[in-house]
């Protein structure tokens, strides 16, 4: 068993324990392996261990890596077993207006939509042959000036606009609360995000069934996030190791 495989197994064990502790089904939580700054070989190793969803922050690095991962899997001695494997690529970094087109063309999910203009551009630039792009609205739940995200008070208005765009599916909310080691404070921020999603479901009944996602929780606060309903947790260094390139806090 490879080192990445061992680490993936350990993370899954932690997710399962956290879910069971609050009487949730372990399979109700998806692990998003944050592979930013790690090479295609590391991603291919994670794929070989069964991981299918990967999160990336840096656009050009991600696009290059997608192609390199395909090549690495095709060149593997047991390449036949990967012929029908479908990977999910999630964009979890800040979005600049001039980068929306390649994001719309290459990714399956975008977790960091924080304003209507970005959503409108992603919808307009999503290729017609691809399924609608899965979107999470990023919420600045702690009100930090240093972080992106819609203010909690503006979530409903922004969500209404996004929900009406033709080539997107609004799946839910994403948040990165202010870091704290206090589990009760961690849970309070995640609880507020969950309650916002519940409000969206009530206010947007036609979209309620598809509003099923809470992307929240990283290595340090994953258990608290799961306790408050996270459906996607974003974990990177616990799987791939220490990063050598700085980046926004997403894993």
Task: List the domain boundaries for the chain.
Answer: 3-240
Tell me how far CA of residue 247 lies from CA of 21, 57, 139, 236, in angstroms.
32, 8, 19, 12
**What pLDDT is attached to residue 248?**
46
With H, G, I as helix, E, B as strand and everything else as coil, classify residue 139: strand
What secondary structure letter does DSSP report for 177?
P
The pair of three-digit structure tokens given for residue 175, joined into one six-digit string: 């948040």
What distance in Å separates the CA atoms of residue 117 and residue 166, rounded to the nearest whole number?
A: 14
CB atoms within 10 A of CB 13: 11
**What pLDDT is attached to residue 176?**
96
101, 82 contact by CB (below 8 A) = no
What distance in Å separates the CA atoms of residue 119 and residue 159, rounded to the nearest whole number?
A: 10
3-240 is classed in which CATH architecture? Alpha-Beta Barrel (3.20)
**What pLDDT is attached to residue 25?**
97
90, 110 contact by CB (below 8 A) = yes
**What pLDDT is attached to residue 243?**
73
Per-residue pLDDT of the chain (251 residues), as tens digits, is 799 999 999 999 999 999 999 999 999 999 999 999 999 999 999 999 999 999 999 999 999 999 999 999 999 888 889 888 899 999 999 999 999 999 999 999 999 999 999 999 999 999 999 999 999 999 999 888 888 899 999 999 999 999 999 999 999 999 999 999 999 999 999 999 999 999 999 999 999 999 999 999 999 999 999 999 999 999 999 999 987 655 545 56
């Amino acid at each position: 068993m490879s080192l990445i495989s061992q680490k993936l197994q350990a993370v899954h064990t932690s997710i399962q324990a956290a879910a069971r502790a609050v009487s949730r089904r372990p399979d109700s939580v998806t692990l998003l392996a944050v592979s930013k700054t790690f090479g295609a070989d590391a991603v291919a190793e994670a794929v070989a261990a069964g991981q299918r969803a990967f999160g990336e922050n840096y656009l050009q690095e991600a696009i290059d890596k997608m192609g390199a991962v395909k090549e690495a899997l095709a060149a593997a001695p047991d390449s036949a077993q990967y012929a029908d494997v479908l990977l999910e690529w999630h964009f979890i970094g800040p979005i600049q207006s001039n980068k929306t087109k390649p994001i719309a063309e290459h990714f399956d999910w975008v977790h960091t939509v924080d304003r209507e203009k970005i959503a409108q551009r992603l919808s307009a630039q999503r290729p017609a042959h691809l399924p609608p792009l899965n979107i999470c609205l990023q919420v600045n739940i702690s009100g930090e000036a240093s972080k992106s995200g819609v203010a909690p008070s503006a979530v409903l208005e922004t969500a209404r606009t996004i929900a009406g765009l033709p080539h997107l599916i609004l799946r839910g909310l994403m948040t990165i609360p202010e870091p704290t080691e206090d589990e009760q404070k961690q849970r309070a921020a995640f609880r507020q995000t969950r309650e916002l999603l519940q409000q969206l479901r009530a206010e947007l009944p036609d979209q309620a069934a598809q509003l099923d996602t809470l992307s929240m929780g990283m290595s340090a606060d994953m258990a608290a996030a799961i306790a408050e309903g996270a459906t996607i947790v974003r974990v990177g260094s616990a799987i791939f190791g220490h990063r050598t390139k700085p980046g926004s806090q997403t894993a």
